[in-house]
Amino acid sequence: MTTLYVDNIAPNLQSKISAPNLTLPSGSVVQVVASELTSSPTTQSTSWVSTGLTASITPSSTSSKILVVYAGMYAANNLSNHWGSHGIQKNGVILNSGSMFGPSIANATNSGQVTLTKLDSPNTTSSTTYTVVYRSEGNSTLVRINDGWGSGENYRATLTLMEIAG
């Protein structure tokens, strides 16, 4: 018979068995949820409109933070010197927004990448939904998400939610 002596026993963090008293160090990624948009919605609205890209996450602790990352393509066209905006919305409130620049001359188009990030503190263990929204900044500028406008390429916008242990 062999005897095994140990000073400490640590849980196997990759184990499928849950450890009810296991506490991850602050800053650890607890869970990841991702959503993808393959359509190319357009708007000329000057009010915030949903792109259809949403994701929900249920934090495991009220001290957790949620890192929200949106990445996609956009295009804007029509009147000169006008643009669109995009944002991350939670419960009807814009958490973070940025501009998508339009063309500098009339009847032209401009396209590029859209990237937004937000570190949110939802302070809940209830399901929390985040939505990507966008709008025209006026004068009939047509804003399109997920397309290079005439490039013939179809893009995939993604919304990723990461729960970070507090």
Residue range 14-27, pLDDT digits in tens: 555 455 556 778 88
CATH number listed for the domain at residues 29-164: 2.60.120.760
Cβ 112 vs Cβ 100: under 8 Å: yes
Whole-structure pTM value: 0.79
**Rounded-to-integer distance, Cα 102 and Cα 86, Å:** 13
Residue 56 pLDDT exceeds 90? yes
Beta-bridge partner residues of 76? 110, 143
